[in-house]
Structure 1
Amino acid sequence: MKFTKMEGIGNDYIYIDNRDHFFDYDPAFITKISDRHMGIGADGLIALENSDKYDFKMRMFNADGSEGQMCGNGIRCLAKFAYDNKLTDKTHLEFETKAGKRIVDLILEDGQVTGATVDMGVPSSKVKDLPMVYDAEECINGEFVVGGKRYRGTAISVGNPHIVMFTKHLPEDIETDGFKIEHSGVFPEKVNVEFVEVIDRNHLKMRVWERGSGETLACGTGACATVYAAILENKIDTTCDVELLGGHLSITYRDGHLFMTGQARTTFIGEVMEENYVR
């Protein structure tokens, strides 16, 4: 299996061209090659497929083999993957995802793709869209209980579920709370957990616990959910720099949509020497 390893501000995935459906998305195999000691090492796998409606279709899998709806950093890299491999000459691309249509505009410098801006769509603060077990229609700076511990956060869906929790300072340990919240009955389909420090009205710092992957260096959908949550809580303006462990994303909320701009980079290309992963 030929693959390309790519990263968007440290959010790294294994990319494959699966337009002919040679790969069957076996969860055990995805987990194996995502392992950072016994495999390639990645936050998961992203595949390019044909779409009946748009330019391409995106399939995204977490490091534990579970399928996710969308990945903001991943879709920037997937658009670069398609362009670099001459599967398209377009710089304005429309993708089919499990979270709906996503539009990507590539950024070129000297003919090379260095990043992209993604229309991440319309966010929702309705708890039914995550889903979340909560006694109100929205959870905005609301209290919820996991394992007897009380938390306060804002629940946002950007096609996948997020709970955004603002803190005075970023915690040193996010695994303990992140894992417990992800796997709690409060979020029946699990959840991405963001821990956020407000620097000023145009700058947020964030760490993220991603469902199915654990802590990652970056999360594009998480950055978008965080900005929308911060706007709802009147903590920032409509354009914000989000600082993550792997780098920075620029997020703008305009006309009801979230727009994300960030880099996309290929790290290496290779082949997996494995015999029993195809149908």
Structure 2
Amino acid sequence: MQIRFTKMQGAGNDFVVLDETSGPLGLTAAQYRFLADRHFGVGADQILTVRPPTPNAAAEGIDFEYVIHNADGGEVEQCGNGARCFARFVHDKGLTAKDTIRVQTRSGIIAPRLTGDGRVTVDMGRPEFEPAKVPFDAVGLAPVEQGFGQKWPLALDTQAQSATVLIAVASMGNPHAVQLVDNVDTAPVAQTGPLIENHPRFPQRVNAGYLQIVDRAHVRLRVFERGVGETLACGTGACAAVASGIRLGLLDPSVEVETRGGRLTIAWSGQAADSVFMTGPATTVFEGQIDIPDTLL
């Protein structure tokens, strides 16, 4: 099977974007893994698929459906940097003339908006901190109260040695575990990221964030993403980290997030009923077509 694709990136988080507005491609998990493979495929952190809304969703003003597969072939609920690239793609391809679109994802409706400076702002929805809704199994744990948030002790087994890290848990449509570190450059992302991602207290696995606070309006962040590994940026991870920092009383309502791939601006009022807004770049890298083996399992 030969398919056309667009390679895009947002702050270094890179994507293969597929257009299924004219009909489904019917790819398998193995074929998504092939596309994401950096040696044999195109190479990407995630595969983003543009689909038309269902008739019921269209009647409610939804413009598109947005489907996300991680590099391991698994479908996930949300991807913030991908949402910006999604909005840029449908606009540049003439699939819509709107500057603001409403998009259905597995975790709910998002509303990306193209701004005058070429960046894209996304209403990422309300953050969720209730452990059971992240989901996070907090049974038997005593949280450390700080500000109007909590940090939870999480025991890790690292090569027969036990260590405990304090994490703030949050969902931005997908689960995140955020820990404060003194310096992201020396944080043990490669060592503890997989342990946190696959910790049994996270039944759907989790994205592990490492947050360094520079000042109340500036942070540095690294994220070990569920099903991918460390990426150059993670949009939902930036939202979860900033929202957690605000709840802990450490950050202002608008924060510049410095990732290894670029900068994002995250804004949240701190009110539970309000959405988190993310602004950042979305760039087309190249376009092409690729033969996908139909024998992949």
Using the size of structure 2 for normalisation, the TM-score is 0.88
Taking the aligned partners of 2:24 and 2:152, their CA distance within structure 1 comes to 46
| Counterpart in the other structure of 1:157 | 171
Give the AA of the match of 1:142. W
Q: Does 1:183 align with 2:198?
A: yes
**1:207 Cα deviation after fit:** 0.4
Contact 2:197/2:206, CA 8 A, preserved across alignment: yes
Task: Give the residue type in structure 1 aligned to 2:42.
Answer: I
How do 1:19-168 residues align onto structure 2 when only pairs under 5 Å count? 19-52=21-54, 53=57, 54-108=62-116, 114-135=118-139, 140-147=150-157, 148-168=162-182
1:19, CA displacement in angstroms? Answer: 2.0
Q: Does 1:210 align with 2:225?
A: yes
Query: CA-atom RMSD, angstroms?
Result: 1.7
Q: CA deviation at 1:205?
A: 0.3
Hey, what's the Cα distance between the residues in 1 that align with 2:256 and 2:134? 25
Alignment partner for residue 262 of structure 1, among 268, 280, 290?
Answer: 280
2:87 maps to a residue whose letter is A
Separation in 2 of the partners of 1:183 and 1:101? 27
Whole-Å Cα distance in 1 between the matches of residues 35 and 154 of structure 2? Answer: 36
SS of the equivalent of 1:15 reads: strand
What letter is aligned with 2:79?
Answer: C
Residue correspondences, number: 274
Greater Cα shift, 127-136 or 78-87: 127-136
2:263 corresponding residue in structure 1: 248
- Would you say the 8 A contact 2:142–2:152 is kept in 1? no
| Structure 1: gaps spanning 5 or more residues | none
Deviation at 1:130, TM superposition (A): 1.7
1:137 Cα deviation from its structure 2 partner: 10
> What SS is found at the alignment partner of 2:252?
coil
1:149 CA drift (Å): 2.2
Give a deviation string over 1:205-263, Cα, whole Å, max 9, x none: 00000000000000000000000100111111110001000000000003621000001
Give secondary structure in 2 for the equivalent of 1:140. strand
Q: Do the aligned residues in 2 keep the contact of 1:204 with 1:241 (CA within 8 Å)? A: yes
Could you tell which deviates more after superposition, 12-21 or 70-79?
12-21
8 A contact 1:29–1:277 mirrored in 2: no
Paired with 2:41 and 2:275, the residues of 1 have a C-alpha distance of 37
- 1:41 is matched by which residue type in structure 2? G
Structure 1 residue 198 and structure 2 residue 213: aligned?
A: yes
Report the equivalent of 2:294: 276
Quote the Cα distance in structure 2 between the aligned partners of 1:222 and 1:34: 20
SS of structure 2 residue aligned to 1:224:
helix
Q: Gaps spanning 5+ residues in structure 2: where?
A: 144-148
| Percent identity for Structure 1 against Structure 2 | 35
Task: Give, in whole Å, the separation in 2 of the partners of 1:224 and 1:36.
Answer: 27
Q: Aligned to 1:230, what secondary structure does the other structure show?
A: helix
Question: What is the CA-CA distance between 1:38 and the residue it aligns to?
Answer: 1.4
Deviation at 1:277, TM superposition (A): 7.6
How big is each residue's C-alpha offset from its partner over 1:101-158, in whole Å with a ceiling of 9 and x where there is no partner? 101111245xxxx321000000011111121111269782121213232110100011
Q: 1:142 to 1:269 in 2, by over 3 A?
A: same
Contact 1:162 1:193 (8 Å CA) reproduced: yes
Q: How far apart are the structure 2 equivalents of 1:277 and 1:45?
A: 20
Cα–Cα, structure 1 residues 277 and 101, in superposed 2: closer, same or farther, change >3 Å? farther
**CA–CA distance in structure 1, aligned partners of residues 205 and 293 of structure 2:** 33
Secondary structure of the residue aligned to 2:150 is coil
Q: What letter is aligned with 1:224?
A: C
What TM-score, normalized to structure 1? 0.94
SS in 2 for 1:90: coil
Q: Verify the 8 A CA contact 2:181 2:187 in the aligned structure 1.
A: no
Segments of 4+ in structure 1 off by > 6 A?
Answer: 136-139
Moved more, 250-259 or 131-140: 131-140
